[in-house]
Amino acid sequence: MTEVSTRSPIVHTSHGPVRGRRVVTTTGSAASAFLGIPYAAPPVGALMLARPQPPEPWTAVRDATACGPTAPQVGYPEPTASILENVVALGDDYLNVNVWTPDPAAEDLPVLVWIHGGAFTRGSNRLTIYSGDTFARDGLVFVGVNYRLGAPGFASLDGAPDNRGILDQIAALEWVRDNIAAFGGDPSQVTVMGESAGAMSVASLLSSPRAAGLFRRAVMESGNGISVAAGDDAQKVTARTSEILGVEPTASAWAEISPDALLAAQTEVALALSLDPDPAVWGETVVRAGLGVMSFLPVIDGDVLPAAPIDSIAAGAGAGVALLAGWNADEFHFFLAPTGIVDAVDGPTAKSVLARSGASTDRLDESVAGGARAGDALCAELTRNGFVDPTRAMAAARPDEPTFLYEFGRHSPVMGIRAGHAVEIPYVFDHVDDAHWLVGPAPDRDLAVRMHAAWTSFAMTGDPGWSAYRTGDAPHLFA
């Protein structure tokens, strides 16, 4: 049931009523925003390492006019912090969703659910560029999701279920199924979309039997279906974290640890892994699937993830779900250019980095012999191995399902990142003028209109505007 007024629309969810606020979109049309709505109980105390539980119901109208807390995390270090927005607003009730709707009194509008990235340790649904007003403007109900990050979300512990962060995402999708009609949405027309770790989460959801039937379409931006850890390897990361904490690697022992201490240990582990990604210490799958930057990631547990997503999808998981997936042409320039590594690295060092990740060095040698800088060649090969080839493999693994591939190639002039990781996000959301720190002072607004229209069309119809992938096809180019 929905009560609509000029200023303060009220929607009755399954847990209690919420009051949102009216917003004016970029075209002058009206929409409504309902922010910080809890979809699960606060994951603190005894629930920190438990499966997500329903929130306590409420009877008084709950204010939903401002974003809620974020999952525990530390900010990005420089220079990343200068080019990638992040907000840290700590609080217990961080398993929340933000909803934008063209009209809460509407019926059967398509729904787009956004899962943010951040290497499974950072990010939230409250970033400016993740605002769903532009999708609401164009006829979609948009839902942004928070979930448990880092050790609380993904550490593999005796006495706790694995993949708690993915279980949170599933709980959020179940909340959408049960509540989105009250906001004008159609629960049978849900598209789940994510970028980076969010896209890897989408691959996990696409492959998980626990998420079957909760969405009809999926979007993966700069992700893959291979970034998961074997159980034994995930436990090596947990064991190292426990050593730092000075406790046993069990849920009962970790329950006595303060959130601040856990966050500090998690940060120390991430730094140690990045400085010395030795598979003998961290586990082969963590080092390779984590792309050298992720220490906590989804785990093959035989339940939420019966196998690596790519393998489950090849065996038929995700049947009936249309997929839009792609990569940015210069993904790793985002990681290596601002720090100066692209300029400084030489050929032998670049080959060593590739070999350490298990990748072939043949193409790097060819590129350098052809005149390419070693740093640029290294970025190209890391991009190919981490994003391009796995995304193509995802498409090849589901030949009977509609899959649409794209490549984003618009260069940003910021710190040499080119068409690097995350640069496409403001274009997809049509928020380039809110992201000059990422896309530069003169973004291509026409490209933003085209990309946003393609994503909107896909969420509405399953067709982004180009043909489904067939083996050997070039991706659709946005540049």
User: Catalytic site residues?
Assistant: 196, 331, 421
Residues contacting residue 180 through CB under 8 Å, at least 6 positions apart: 99, 111, 141, 143, 186, 187, 190
Indicate the SS3 state at residue 197: helix
Judge whether 288 and 357 are in contact, CB under 8 Å. Answer: yes
Judge whether 225 and 313 are in contact, CB under 8 Å. Answer: yes
Does the CA dihedral 272-278-284-287 come out positive or negative?
positive
Give the rounded distance of the alpha carbon of 46 from its chain centre: 27
Alpha helices in 102-196 (DSSP H): 133-137, 150-154, 164-179
Task: At 458, give phi and psi (nearest 5°).
Answer: -60, -45
Choose among 131, 152, 101, 187: nearest CA to 431: 131
Q: Which tokens sit at 175? A: 């909340």
Indicate the SS3 state at residue 400: coil
- Cross-strand bridge partners of residue 18: 11, 62
Give the CA-trace dihedral at 372, 374, 377, 381, to 10 degrees: 160
**Cα separation values, 23 from 30, 234, 417, 446, Å:** 6, 44, 34, 24
Q: Which tokens sit at 151? A: 């050790």
